[in-house]
Structure 1
Amino acid sequence: MVSKTLSRVRLSREERYAQLVETAWKIIDEEGTEALTLGHLAEQSGVTKPVVYDHFTNRSGLFATLYQEFDRRQTALMDDAIQKAKPELEALASVIATSYIECVLLQGREMPSVIAALAGTPELEKIRNDYAVIFTEKCRKIFAPFCGKNGISDAALWAMLGAAEGLSYATACGAITAAQAKDELFHIIISMVQRSF
């Protein structure tokens, strides 16, 4: 009988990180968030536990990293779409609404599970707050040319973000369609801008 041994592939730190993140998403997709432990990730990635701990420190750190990766992808997709859009209110509102919802759908049902796994942790609170500030300020700048002299209020921007998160969650869970979510978010954005006058 021939013994099978896994040969470990030597990767750079960046390549190993990318491999671990990809494997983590695969585990969540196939087995759920409960199955994603650092030990299981190490086993599925063909590395030792210390390698995984070196990258993520603990389970919350791993989930925080997955959230940040999602955020980076979402930002890149949205920025690309904004660059290609006509500099008109309706076009930009459509881009923001579509990009926000589609990015959540691109990640599928895994993203709500990651957020649930991080619920109540300091890591998630900091990451979400940082993202919220960046996103709301981006929207303030994008829509400034279409607003009244006082611009969009902070409360209106936070309400729009809350709506975007709620609609994304409802879409990912199948409560509403993506088209419904995009349309509703589009109208919320238009209304937010119009109320600035």
Structure 2
Amino acid sequence: MSKDERRAQLLATAWDIVREYGTDALTLGALAQRAGISKPIAYNHFQTRPGLMIALYEDINQRRLQTVAAALREVPANLADVAGALASAYMACHAALGPEWHAIGAALRGDAEMQRYQRTMIDGYVEFYHRFLAPVSPLRSDEVRRRCVGIVGAAEALSDAMVLGRVREEVAAGDLASLTVAWLSAPA
């Protein structure tokens, strides 16, 4: 098995452990045992438990962005449709990931490396949203980028509420799309 294939296998195994037993059960030793490999192989791939958690988080995040980008290629290039597709895909991805996504982030909240990664991830979301929303908004590009910071924050808050069962997926997506359209429409 190539190094990339082994890493993919280990990340899939890590995700299974988190789903079945929670984040506290995910250690490099538990991963090695479950994957049927030696501990040094697990350590070679991830170095530390936070390194493993970040790699898992990053892998899930990249797949989520690919799913959203694919959905956006299928919609007409207007603000309402792009905002709706972004919101629906975002919430669908969070619903599919379930509470494990948030549990992984929470497990590493005090870790400096994870905090740097989360900041980079949020900045990436802002750029991702900007890339798709700036062309369909009448606002200046820098204004759209700045407002995307708030839109991404709202997306995170709504997805948290959805995962906790406080709001249904379609309502969260509708609220996010509505907020996006209202905030990125022509200035009054």
Give, in angstroms, the shift of residue 120 of structure 1. Answer: 2.1
Scaled by the length of structure 1, the TM-score of the pair is: 0.88
The unaligned stretches of length 5 or more in structure 2 are: none
Structure 1: unaligned runs, 5 residues or longer: 1-10
Give the CA deviation at 1:154. 4.6
CA displacement at 1:194 relative to structure 2? 1.8
Identity of aligned residues (%): 31
Alignment partner of 2:73 out of 62, 65, 83: 83
Identify the residue that residue 191 of structure 1 maps to in structure 2.
Answer: 182
Structure 2 distance, partners of 1:81, 1:97, is 11
Deviating runs (4+, > 4 A) in structure 1?
A: none
* CA-CA distance at 1:63 after TM superposition: 0.5
Letter in 2 for 1:130: T
Is the alpha carbon distance of 1:18 and 1:149 closer, same or farther for their aligned partners in structure 2, counting shifts above 3 Å?
A: closer
- Of residues 153, 172, 181, the one that matches 1:181 is 172
Write the letter of the residue equivalent to 1:100.
Answer: Y
Two-structure CA RMSD over aligned residues (Å): 1.6
Whether 1:146 and 2:136 are equivalent positions in the alignment is: yes
Query: For the residues of structure 1 that align with 2:48 and 2:111, how far apart are their CA atoms?
Result: 12
Please list, as runs of the form range in 1=range in 2, the aligned pairs for 1:11-160 lying within 5 A after superposition. 11-151=1-141, 152-160=143-151
- Number of aligned positions between the proteins: 187
The Cα shift of 1:39 comes to: 0.6
Q: Is contact 2:139–2:186 with CA below 8 Å preserved after alignment?
A: no
* Matched position secondary structure for 1:84: coil
User: What TM-score, normalized by structure 2, do the two folds share?
Assistant: 0.92
**Cα distance in 1, alignment partners of residues 119 and 146 from structure 2:** 15
**Structure with greater helix share of residues:** 2
Q: Counterpart amino acid of 1:164?
A: A
Note the alpha carbon deviations across 1:157-190, whole angstroms, 9 max, x for none: 2111111001111111212110111011011111
Q: Which residue of 2 aligns with 1:170?
A: 161
Give 1:122 shift: 2.1
My pick for the range that moved more, 152-161 or 23-32, is: 152-161
Separation in 2, partners of 1:30, 1:40: 13
The whole-number CA distance in structure 1 between the counterparts of 2:101 and 2:83 is 24
CA distance in 1, matches of 2:88, 2:137: 21
Between structure 1 and structure 2, the one with the greater Rg is 1
